[in-house]
Amino acid sequence: MEHGATLSGDDERRYEDTTAMELDAEHLIVGAGCAGLSLAVRLARRDLRERGRILIVDPREELEVGDRTWCSWGGSGATHPFASCVSHRWTRWRVRSASVDVERSLPSRPYERIPSDAFVREALRVLEAAPGVVIRTGTRVSALRDEGATVRAECEGGGGLRGRLAWDARGGAPATVARPGDVSWLQHFVGWEVRTERAIFDPGVAMLMDLRVDQGRGPHFVYVLPFARDRALVEDTYFSERALEEREYASSIERWLEEHRAGSWEIERTERGAIPMSTAPIARRAGPRIVPIGLRGGAAKPSTGYAFAFVQRHCDALARVAGDGRTVPPEVPVRSRVATFFDRVFLSYLRRVPESAPEVFGGLFARADPAAIVRFLSEEGGAADHLAVMRAVPRLGVAAEAVRARDLWMRAR
């Protein structure tokens, strides 16, 4: 199915040359998820004559699905086009381990939640009003080929599409160049939005990590976003190599609810994810005109799996250099070398001493300045902030790991 605004007479004339080349659009965005729509909205806000036409394709027939929610730290001063979609904000957060129960507060940097259905509605509102933008659902791209001046997208079931640039926003994981010693983990989880019989939640405090759960299969915690005293998203999360069977997460969530004396409960919504956490460098583009974005572009932060804020920042930067597709956009790294370096330190350490996760995260949230933690997690600070955070975790191990990771980092340059 296709929908979008039509071109005016002037716009039609301007694109006569491109239609003669059988271009479907200047910008072909493959995947209408978080990154595809984030980039499309930014491009669509620009004048059609400057940016050219945009065609967004996705295999799903229905895009407005609430299958996930995105959280990130607001208040950085950097705005994004989806600020009106924030459904909840928490200014206090908590981390618990066997030895630490810490609650911190930073009213200037609320932890903000955006439901994906609200996000998609806002994106479609902008895109459907913009000229020269078409969204084609029910279309799965099986391969992208850079053919020099244009890119061809092969579509499943036959046929193809042609654009000057292809933005590969199909999700999944980035292509990487793994080296010996690199960590290749997943942040994998199942979350239930529950309504409980008893009022057990504090809606003012987001539980970022409850680490008082079995650590036998790698770093493991329960994440709780409370919406009311009897409603919350309760998510069972691991950092490790492989995702688990659905029932393993389910029994952990059930145990957590029982231990918190929830009484009976009703599951209103479920979500599931497996986000890449990798220290391997991102490979070069498959072709100069095929630009990976979102998870494909390495947006997920290796040490946490968070991606939403980095997708927004990356799409901002890419939209600025995208032009009308005639020139190849330069490489725009998702994160700085400093952030990459500290992520490697952190993740390599956790892999080497996975049982230290409760101590590492408990210590970090208890000892480091909350503003520095938020800047570290949001990749806003410089080396000083990152070091301040690192100093809050067991020193010797991290120092040794820093040297090792630095060595890897130097070799990656």
Ligand X SMILES: Cc1cc2nc3c(=O)[nH]c(=O)nc-3n(C[C@H](O)[C@H](O)[C@H](O)COP(=O)(O)OP(=O)(O)OC[C@H]3O[C@@H](n4cnc5c(N)ncnc54)[C@H](O)[C@@H]3O)c2cc1C
What secondary structure does DSSP assign to 287-321, as a single string? BTTEEE-GGGGT-S-TTT---HHHHHHHHHHHHHH
Cβ distance to ligand X smaller for residue 294 or 323? 294
Contact present, 33 and 115 (Cβ < 8 Å): no
- Residues 343-382 touching ligand X, rule: CB under 6 A, are none
The angle subtended at Cα 399 by Cα 208 and Cα 242, nearest 5°, is 50
66 is a site residue for ligand X (CB under 6 A):
no
13: which residues sit within 8 A by CB, 6+ positions away? none
Rounded distance between C-alpha atoms, residue 298 and residue 288, angstroms: 17
**Taking CB under 6 A as the rule, which mask of x and - marks residues 87-126 in contact with ligand X?**
----------------------------------------
Cβ distance to ligand X smaller for residue 60 or 260? 60
Q: What is the CA radius of gyration of the chain?
A: 22
Give the CB-side neighbour count of residue 316, counting CA atoms within 13 A.
12
Stretch that binds ligand X, among 17-25, 69-77, 91-99, 130-138 (CB under 6 A): 69-77
Cβ distance to ligand X smaller for residue 48 or 373? 373
Q: Considering the complex, what minimum distance in angstroms separates the CB of residue 96 from ligand X? A: 19
**Buried b or exposed e, range 155-192, using 16+ CB within 10 angstroms:** beeeeebbbbbbbbbbeebbbbeeeeebbbbbbbbbbb
Contact present, 26 and 166 (Cβ < 8 Å): no
Stretch that binds ligand X, among 16-24, 34-42, 351-359, 367-375 (CB under 6 A): 34-42
82 is a site residue for ligand X (CB under 6 A):
no
Contact present, 131 and 9 (Cβ < 8 Å): no
71 is a site residue for ligand X (CB under 6 A):
yes
Of the candidates 24, 26, 58, 385, which one interacts with ligand X according to CB under 6 A?
Answer: 58
Q: Considering the complex, what minimum distance in angstroms separates the CB of residue 352 from ligand X? A: 25
169 is a site residue for ligand X (CB under 6 A):
yes
294 is a site residue for ligand X (CB under 6 A):
yes
225 is a site residue for ligand X (CB under 6 A):
no
Of the candidates 51, 170, 188, 313, which one interacts with ligand X according to CB under 6 A?
Answer: 170
Cβ distance to ligand X smaller for residue 190 or 398? 190
Rounded distance between C-alpha atoms, residue 67 and residue 269, angstroms: 8
249 is a site residue for ligand X (CB under 6 A):
no
Rounded distance between C-alpha atoms, residue 43 and residue 50, angstroms: 10
Residues within the interface to ligand X (CB under 6 A): 30-36, 57-60, 68, 70-72, 140-141, 169-171, 271, 273, 275, 294-295, 306-308, 311
